[in-house]
Structure formats: structure tokens, C-alpha cells
Amino acid sequence: MLKYFSLYLKKQIVIYMIQFNFKPFNEMRDEDYALIGFKSGLEIHQQLKTQKKLFCRCPAGKYSDKYDAEILRHMRPTLSELGEYDGTALMEFKTKKEIIYRIHHDTVCTYEMDDTPPFELNEEALDIALEIALLYKCNLVDELHISRKQYLDGSIPAGFQRTTIVAVNGFIPYKKREIGIVQVGLEEDACREVSDIYHQRVYLTDRLGMPLTETVTTPDLKSPIEVSEVAEIIRRLARSTGKVRTGLGAARQDVNVSVDGGTRIEIKGVSRIQMIPILTYNEAMRQWNLLRIKEELNKRGITFQNVSYKNDDVTKIVRKTRYQPINLAVQEGKKVYGVLLQGFKGLLRWQTQTDTYFSKEFSDRVRVIACLTTLPNIIHSDSPTENLSTLEWQNIRKFLNATEDDTIVLVWGNEEDVKTAVKEIQIRAKEATIGVPSETRQALIDGTNGFERILPGPERMYPDTDLPPKAITDERVQKIKLQMPLAYWEVENQFKKYKLKDYHIKKLYITKYGNLFKKIVEEYNVDKEFVANILVDQLTALERKDYDISKLSDNDFIKIFTTYKKGEITKKGVVITINNILKKGLSVDEAFPKKIDEYDMNQIMNKEYKLLLAGIIYNKKNIPSLLLGKIMNYYNGRIDGSVIKQKVYDFLKDYGYDSE
Amino acid sequence: MIQSDKFKGYKGQALSILKSFNADVWSDVEILTDAGIFKGIILPRSETADPNHIVLKLRSGYNVGINISRITDIKIGGKKEAHYKIPEKEFPYDPKKPRVKLFGTGGTIASRLDYRTGAVIPAFSPGELYGSVPELAEICNLETEKLYGVFSENMGPEQWIGVAKAIGNEIEKGVKGIVIGHGTDTMHHTAAILSFMVQNSPVPIVMVGSQRSSDRPSSDAALNLIHSVKTAAESDFAEIMVCMFGPTSDEYGLLHRGTRVRKMHSSYRSTFRTIGDIPLGMVSKEKITPFRKDYKKRRNDKEVKIVTAFEEKVSIVYYYPNMKPDIIDSLIDNGYKGIVIAGTGLGHVNKPLYPALKRARDNNIAVYMTVQTLWGYVQMYVYDTGRDMMELGVIPSANLLPEVAYVKLGWALGQTNDLQKVKEIMLTPIAGEITEREPSNGYLIFQGGIPEVEKFISQYRK
């Protein structure tokens, strides 16, 4: 009987393997994505480089893991403006999480704690958001209405994020087409999660309330590569203002993905653009497979209407199991429940993402909603890995009256949590009959994704009654337009004529040095590659070492480059001058290399040569290089190194040294 | 200007535009503008907002204002009206649980959005409360009655008297506890006056509100309500209390005596503090913990004394340096019968006020001194100024809080015009409003920054 059973299982799997023709990542072509109806759009969150937070006067951009105090909150769902409950809100309420906020006096005030009403919107942040919106050629909103977007996961102590739409209907050019920008929002950043274990979630609050823009594109991206390329364009455009934050976590993407017959799924918080292709690939694969599972279920006659399951307490049956996780749970007095999914045989080990199986969809729900966070949190009767003994499984099957077409899922924990888990397993099984449930999913390091929460709808929006609407005046918009940069692709075209290296072009137009470059090259006729080397390579290197390159004014650069152009300093002299200004804190005039008359060089060589001879020299052969070093110190940055070298060798020739 | 409800809140040009396109509020529309098309639902507009914008709820759920000067056309597709209704469920009845009555007077304990002002307005119904705070059914059989629907700043003698009488009626009907939902701004005024108007109550009377309206996920409303209903149903305190958050965290509530409590922060959740004493106790979802023994205990009888007299011609004068006597004079000229002064330090005002105070005495006006330091007693013997003022008829009122002195003086003058009797009433404690002694932990204000204080708040949740 048992033998027959496992044979049956193997046969089934073989059938599934044949059906599984989703190609590996590297083999997927644009045509394949077209075939499955891949569709994607982006929501890009970009932190703005303001002094202060969006609705209070706390400093923005100060991070610390230290904290002075903690507060505890629970979140309860509330009605939307149109009188509806949001599905996500209800889900989060089911989880009954205790949320702890860690607070540092320097970065958080009573506003972020939700104990003081908001102060007026940060005008600096609004100007930057409007500038970015104008770069997308959006229509600006005439009057801002601040909304509250509910987040019951606790990532914001108020339970909602203050957010507002500043513009709609823009676009960016991409591959001879236009990708629409649906809207640009201005909103507060959320807390940083520290941990989420069992019924307690812990957050750090330093990032909370920092201003960021949210740019939403139309879902017109047709392949994973397109998604990452457009994300890059949007990121660069924002950076071209020079007014946004950079670095890890300063820009975070939410990626929406769907395939034909699937659902819009939001993958949250992708901070590395390089990860987008693999993440979107895996999500497309997941949806494609969930749809195949649905077909298979329907083929087996299982539909949304007639899907059936039952559950019962099986603690007694597995009381003495040698399977460690359950053994431990039983010893701690916890409950083990079996959920029988009628007709689901074999489906839980269907591959849905790279190295990820359908069973993970169940495990995720149990982890997030029932708070059973220690993994594994479920096992199932089709699992290829060893868990319960065959006899134990048999007893469970008998107890639950399982037929060979059924699958059994076991879950264990505190009774209350297990009951929640059982419900969630059943809900997820029911959802399998209709394909892809609407979810928000979190990006994982390996490029797959996991369940985060039910996808929230517009029901979670509520007008902010604490702040009045704010009209955007024409004067304000004009003022922004006067100082904003050209869209970078327009600048890129302008830069093309200089025929610079690609990365020089990219860097120049996203920094404020683009205009300076043009000025120095056009007006002072300085060698463009050299100018690019200095403004990009040298400055980047210095910035990486934490030197404040903003200390150098445009006038400083012009002075340095014209001095070079006049031949008073060499290329190396330019580098030395800049280093002197930043490293020694000298003014530009003090920073130039020493000015020693070239005609005195013979005299200096004589002096230094004699000093060298007077010293202890073990090998006379070293004298030329030693002397060269001494003389270089005098003239470095003023006279080209090769010229000095020649002069030193000429000088030494008279003393019988070889020129090499 | 007469306004149609079809165009809630719109006025001037915005109203004309909407009328011309026959686009009333809640219409599902496409608005064509010179800056593109906006699709969404037309929302009502706040009456205080300008007449130049139309508010639209976009499909994404966001609201935007569209300047009417840009609008070229409005196409109407349908209608979607908001039905803001908390799912209403009948409150379950359990014969084993005590009967608790919840009176509503308004405030943010239950509230919803008001399009007229753009602010939140109170909403109240037992079914709604059960729908949003089902935990209440585990504590008691709750009955509710809406007495008023006003913001707390609009509570006054009329409402105080109404609430006092309603309490009396309920107690006679044998209720086991009473909860009063109230706006927080003047909750301590109402708590104080009810402490005088409702005497000898056999059951707990708990006032409660919320500092974050219940339309917010992080609202303190639900937990405050749970705490207060638990206190009313189960506690042994047969007193008028205020039950609000102890810390800002969702942990426990404090039970403050109605005559010693004061709102001390404009927005914090833990805004209510007992002044010059310690609270009666604390309450969490799990238990009630008394801090002291000298409270009035719950009884099984239905005896309660309701004294609803109130003289409205009473005022508080908050003294400031260089105050001119005309302030006092104007009260005298306007026929005021009682004045409570919140004086500096131990209870002082400047000399230029003396003639006015003398005039008040000569006009048979009751003048009582309290301290604007809030903590501590009036002591008018220490300095000459104090003695001079007592000569002028100013009566020191021990550690009566200024607001408590105000309502008590109104209550006393409502009962008699005989200033000697008024004095007896004022200085005889009825509900803990004057205490014989200030315990050494009655004045505790932690000063942030001090190392040991910082250590404390790092160990206990705020």
C-alpha cells in the first residue's frame, strides 16, 4: 500500500515537471515575457535632502541605533473616508502585535510619537518635490490636500502616514516611447524595523517623518530589465536636482508586477536596483505557477465554491514524535493542528519561485498573521524531506479521514495562534482556486519574495483633519522653474559633443559641476578631459574620504584652472592645490604650489647635491633618484616632472653620472 | 448665503461652476482642465476654505484641489456617496454581568469626519461602540444614552446640571456604574462640578475621553473606554473620577479624583494628572490597582444626593504683573457675584488692585484666592501683601485648584447669597477638593536631562 502510494506520488511529480516550462532567468527573452503578459510599474521612494523632517522640526538624516526611551502601541482598524474598512487593516488587527518604538531624544520629538499635532508642511521639501515633478513634466496640483494613509503594521506610530499628491500625469522618455508618471507624492518616511518576533515588533524611529517623494509610473514596463532601467532613469533624474539623499536606503522601490490572468502584486522596499530583474522574474514565475495550480485544481474539480477542508487537534497523535520542532512544541504544552486540504495532493511541493515551493505561501501567512515566527512553522504530507514518521502520518490521515487525493498541513503553537493559523491556511487554500491573491510582498535577498500583507486599497486613505489645504501659487512654481536643472537626458545630449567617457558624462550632469565644466571648457578653453578628470575622479575620491568638497567654490575652480592654463602650474599642480585646500584648509591662494624661480634651479641642485654627498650614502648609484626627489619637492606642481627629470640628469652628467 | 446640501461647503465661483455643470457633491466625474484630465469623486469642501478650488478624490484615494479657473468641462459618470458608518451590532446581554450606563456628551471618544469644517465631529451610538470596541461586552452589559453632542469647550452649567440629573436617575434605577464620554479640554471642570452636584454616589462615576480621535488607528479612545467601563463595572471607588492614559504607551489608565485632576498638556495622551496628591489608582485591561485606602467605597443602596444649583456670575482672574484694577472693576460693574483669583506664588496680586478688591468687598462680592502655581497651598500670612488682601476680604482657599474653586464658587453662590454660608461651603471639603496635607509624592515632575531621570525613562515605557 505504502509503496503504491509513493509510486503514485512520484508519477504525479513527473507530470508536474513536464508542465513546468518556465525558463531559468538567463534564458528568458523579451518574447517569453510578452508571451506570459509580463506587466510592471514602479513606485519609487526618494528621500529629500532637507535640514528637517516633513511635519516637525526634528533633524532629518540622523541615524542611530541607540535610544533613550520606548513606547508601546497597538493599532486598531478604522473606517475610511467613504465608510469602508481596509482589508490590510483588518489583517493587521488579526495579528495582535505589540509594537515597541525606540526613541532617541535627538531625532524624535512628540510629533513622531503622535502626541503633538503636525506643524506646517516643510516648505523646502515641497519645493524639491515640485521641482522633481516639473522634471517629469507633470501637471502640478493646484491645491494640496494632506491625506492619512493607514499603516497598521505599526511602521508609523500614528497608524497612518501623512502624504499628499503634488502632481499628476508626467512622463519620462525611454526607448523611443514614453513611460507615464501617474503621480508624484510627498510623504513622511516610516520607522526602521528592528525585529518582528512572535507577537512583538520593534521599530527605530530616527528615519520616521523624513520627507520623501513617491513617484508612480504607469504599468508599461514589459520585461525585468526594462523595470530596472526605468528605475535607474528615475533615480538619476531625482539626483540631478542635487537635492535628494543618496546612499543605502535613501531611494527605495516598490515594484508592481502582474502576468496575464494574474494580479497586481507589490514587491516592497527594494533598495538595490540591480535586484529588480531577478525579483520581478521570480514574481512573474510565481504568478504563472499559481495560475497553473489553479488550472490543476479546477481540473480536479476544485473551485472557489466547493473547495473544502477540515481541521482538528492532532496533538495526541504526534505526542511522542521524534520530529524535533513538534516534539519540542508538545513538551512546552503547545497544540498541534492538522488541516486537511481536500484534493490538494502534491500541490504544496509545486515550485513557484526559484528554489521555493507552493508550501511557502502557507508558511508565510502563518508566520505573518498567526505570528508563528519560528521556522519551520508548518509541515505537510507531501513534503519530500523527512519529518514525521510514516506511521504518524498514517494515523493522522486516518484520524482526519484523508483520502489519497488530499494533503494535510500541520501547524503548531499556542492554541490561539494555531487557530488563527488554521484559518489562514484554509483561506490561502481557497485563494488558490482563483489564482493570485492581491498581496504586498517583501523582497528577499535571494531574489525571491515572501508574503508581507494583503494589498491595501484606496480604502485606507483618509483626509488629514489636522492640516488645512494648501494652494500652490504660480509665483512659487515660476521661482522653482528658474533654478531647476534641465532633465538629465537633455543635458546628456548637450554633453555628447564633448565626447567624454560615459561615466564622466553621467557624473557631470547629476552633480552641480556640469555647468562649471561647460564654463571652464568653453570660456577658458581648458582641456576638457583634464577638467572632467578633476571634477569627477578627484572630487569623487576626496568625497569618499569624507572631505567636504562643497568648500571649493566655482570661483576657486576657475582660478585654479586659469592658473594652469597660463602655465604657472602643471596638471599635478592642480591636484596639489585642490588637496591643499581640502586637506589643509588653506585658501586657494595659499594652496598653490611654492613659486621658485626656475633660473635658481642650478643653484638649488648644487646645494642639494653637496648635502647628499656630505650625508651617508651607501650606494652612489642612488644619488640621481635621491636628488630628483629633492628637486621635485621644490618644483612639484609648477614644472612638469619630465622637465625636472631632464634637468637633473643634465646636471649630474657633469659629475659623471649616467643619464639612466 | 443659502446653500444647497447638494454642494456642501462650496461657495462663490466654485459653487457657480459646479452648478453650471450640474455636478453636485459625490458625483463621479472627469474634470477637464488646461493641465489635463482628473478623474474622481467630487468631495464636499470645508466652509472655511477658499472659493477657488474643487476637491476631488482621485481613484488612488488621494484628494486634490483643482483651481476652477483651469476647468474647461466636467463630465459626470455616476455617483458614490460616503456612508460613514461603523458596523453596528447589538450589544450582547449577559445576566451575570453588571449593568453600566455610558452617557455621551460629545468629544473625540467617538468621532467622524465633518465636511462642513473639515474637522472631526462627535458620533455616538451603542451599536457603533460595540462594533468598534467589542471588548466592552466582556466586561458589562452596556447601555448608552446621548445627552449632548458638543465639544467640551461648549459644556456649561446647563449641561452640567443635565448630566448630574441623568446620573441621579440612573443610580435610582440601580445601575452598577456610570461612564461619561466627554471632550478632554474641560473634562476636569465637569469632573469637579459633578463632584459637588452628585454627592454620596453608591457607584463609580467615570469620565473618559480621548486625545487622539477614534478615526485614527493609534487612537487612545478604545483603550480609555475599556479602562473606564472596567472601572465603572468592577471598581470599589464610588467617586467621580477621570480615567485617562497614565503613560503615552497603550498600557494602563490612571484614575484621578474629579476635584484634583487637570489637563496638563495640549496634545499628549497622558495629559491628565492629579495635582498636589496621588491618583486613586490605576486600571489596565487585566486589573484595577488602588493606590490608597481613603476613598468612598461602593455601596448597594441607591441613595444619592443631587444638588444642581449654579450661579453663573462667577469668574476666574488670572493675575499677571502690572494688572490694572479696571479688570476687577469691570467684573463688579457687570454684576459678578464671585471672583476666583489665581494669584502668584502663595497667592498674591499687586497693590494697585487693592482699591478694586475693597470695592468688591463693599459690593458683597465673594473673592477667593487660589495659586497659579497649581501645586501647593495658598498662604497669605507669610507676606504683608497677603495680610493686606485678607483685610480687603479676599479669602484664601487652601489648595483648591483654580478651576475647581471657580465651579465650586458658582455652585455655592447658587445655593445662597449669604457670604458667610458661602465661605463655609467653599472651605469645607466635600469630595477631596481641599486636602489637609500634601503627601511628599504629591508633587513629582520629572525634569528631563537629569541622569537618574533619563535612566528611569529608559527602563519604563513612557
Output B197 or A566, whichever has higher pLDDT: B197
Secondary structure, 3-state, chain B:
CCCCHHHCCCCHHHHHHHHHCCCCCCEEEEEEECCEEEEEEECCCCCCCCCCEEEEEECCCCEEEEEHHHEEEEEEEEECCCCCCCCCCCCCCCCCCCEEEEEECCCCCCEEECCCCCCEEECCCHHHHHHHCHHHHHCCEEEEEECCCCCHHHCCHHHHHHHHHHHHHHHHCCCCEEEEECCCCCHHHHHHHHHHHEECCCCCEEEECCCCCCCCCCCCHHHHHHHHHHHHHHCCECCEEEEEECCCCCCCEEEEECCCEEECCCCCCCCEEECCCCCCEEECCCCEEECCCCCCECCCCCCCEECCCCCCCEEEEECCCCCCCHHHHHHHHCCCCEEEEEEECCCECCHHHHHHHHHHHHCCCEEEEEECCCCCCCCCCCCHHHHHHHHCCEEECCCCCHHHHHHHHHHHHHHCCCHHHHHHHHHCCCCCCCCCCCCCCCCCCCCCCCHHHHHHHHHCCC
3-state SS, residue A195: strand
| pLDDT at residue A3 in the model | 46
CB contact under 8 A, B84 and A81: yes
Q: Is A27 exposed, middle or buried (0-12, 13-18, 19+ CB in 10 A)?
A: exposed
Closest Cβ–Cβ partner in B36, B454, B457 for A139? B36
> Out of A113, A139, A469, whose CB is closest to B35?
A139
Any catalytic annotation for residue B263?
yes
Residue A600 banded pLDDT, cuts 50, 70, 90? confident
Q: For residue A469, which residues of chain B lie inside 8 Å, CB to CB?
A: 46, 49, 53, 55, 65
For residues A646 and A85, the model is more confident at A646
Model pLDDT for residues A627-645, shown as the tens digit of each residue: 888 888 888 888 888 888 8
Rounded distance, CA B267 to CA B270, Å? 9
- Evaluate if residue A209 carries a pLDDT over 70: yes
Least Cα separation, residue B462 to chain A (angstroms): 6
Q: Which is the catalytic residue, given B24, B101, B108, B259?
A: B108
Which among A67, A75, A110 has the least Cβ separation from residue B218? Answer: A75
Report d(CA A426, CA A422) in Å as an integer.
6
Report pLDDT for B86. 61
pLDDT at A18: 38
Q: What is the pLDDT of residue A548?
A: 86
Place of cell 594652469: A564
DSSP A122-160: -HHHHHHHHHHHHHTTPEEPSEE--EEEE-TTSSSTTSE
- Three-state secondary-structure class, residue A562: helix
Find chain B residues with C-beta within 8 A of A163's C-beta.
62
Question: How far does B457 lie from chain A, in Å, by closest CA?
Answer: 6
Tell me, yes or no, if A71 comes closer than 8 A to chain B by beta carbon: yes
Of B35, B59, B214, the CB nearest to A458: B59
Please confirm, yes or no, whether B326 is among the known catalytic residues: no
Look at strands A211-217 and A251-258 and give their pairing: unpaired
Res A598: pLDDT: 67
The residue whose grid cell reads 577638467 is: A531
- CA-nearest residue to A113 within chain B is B248
Contact present, B5 and B42 (Cβ < 8 Å): no
Per the CB < 8 Å rule, is B65 touching A144?
yes
In this complex, the residue of A105, A145, A460 whose CB is nearest that of residue B63 is A145
Which residue among B113, B217, B249 sits closest to A75, beta carbon to beta carbon? B217
Contact present, A290 and A261 (Cβ < 8 Å): no
Is B358 a known active-site residue?
Answer: no
| Residue A59 touches chain B, beta carbons under 8 Å | no
Does B250 contact A72 at a Cβ distance shorter than 8 Å? yes
Task: Look at residues B301, B271, B310 and name the one whose alpha carbon lies nearest to residue B415.
Answer: B310
The confidence score (pLDDT) of residue A292 equals 94
Please report which confidence band the pLDDT of residue A230 belongs to, taking 50, 70 and 90 as the band edges. Answer: very high
Q: Which residues of B touch A462 (CB under 8 A)?
A: 113, 215
Q: How far is A65 from chain B (nearest CA, A)?
A: 14
Q: Is residue A106 a contact partner of residue A74, using CB atoms and an 8 Å limit?
A: no
Residues (pLDDT < 50) of chain B are: 1-3, 113-122
Are B118 and A169 within 8 A, CB to CB? no
| Distance to chain A for B51, nearest Cα, Å | 12
Q: Which of B101, B263, B296, B408 is catalytic?
A: B263
Q: State how far residue B228 is from chain A, nearest Cα, in angstroms.
A: 18
Q: Which of A 120-139 lie inside 8 A of B, CB atoms?
A: 139
Selected residues 234-263 of chain A with any CB under 8 Å from a CB in chain B: none
A277, amino acid identity: P
Residues 312-371 of A with CB under 8 A from B: none
Label residue A183 by pLDDT band (50, 70, 90).
very high
Between B31 and A500, name the one with better pLDDT. Answer: B31
pLDDT at residue A84 in the model: 58
pLDDT tens by residue, B113-151? 444 344 444 455 666 777 778 888 899 999 988 888 777
Q: Which among B105, B144, B184, B435 is annotated as catalytic?
A: B184
Mean pLDDT over A238-246 rounds to 91
Nearest to A142 among B37, B70, B84 (CB): B70
**Mutation choice for A interface testing from B120, B249, B267, B450 by most A CBs within 10 A:** B249
| Nearest chain A residue (CA) to B33 | A139
Interface probe for A, chosen from B34, B41, B63 (most Cβ of A below 10 Å), is B63
Q: For position B121, what pLDDT does the model report?
A: 44
Catalytic status, residue B277: no
Interface A:B, Cβ pairs < 8 A = 174
- Set of chain B residues whose Cβ sits within 8 Å of the Cβ of A149: 61
Averaged confidence pLDDT in chain A = 89
Interface test with B, best of A141, A160, A171 (most B CBs within 10 A): A141
pTM of the complete model: 0.82
Q: In terms of CA atoms, which chain B residue is nearest residue A84?
A: B84
ipTM: 0.90
Which tens digit of pLDDT belongs to each residue from A5-33?
A: 444 444 444 444 434 478 899 999 999 99
